Amino acid sequence: MQRYNPPTTSAQTYCHGCQRQIRKVQEMMDEKYLTHIEYQVDKNSMERQMESLQRQLELERLQAATMRAMIKRTTTPDEKVQELLEINKKLTESLQKEVKNLEEFPLEEWYNSIQQKWTEKYQKVHDYAMEKKEEMLIYKQDAETTHEDVQWYRKELVTAKKMLMKKEQEITALKRGANKENVENGAEKAEKKDDATKMLFAQGIKRSSDV
Model pLDDT, residue 1: 43
Q: What is the pLDDT of residues 124-154, one digit of tens each?
A: 777 888 888 888 888 888 888 888 888 888 8
Distance set, CA 27 to CA 22, 120, 181 (Å): 9, 15, 94
Q: pTM here?
A: 0.28
Model pLDDT, residue 76: 58
Model pLDDT, residue 164: 87
Q: What is the pLDDT of residues 57-114, one digit of tens each?
A: 877 777 777 777 666 665 555 666 677 777 777 776 766 665 555 556 666 777 777 7
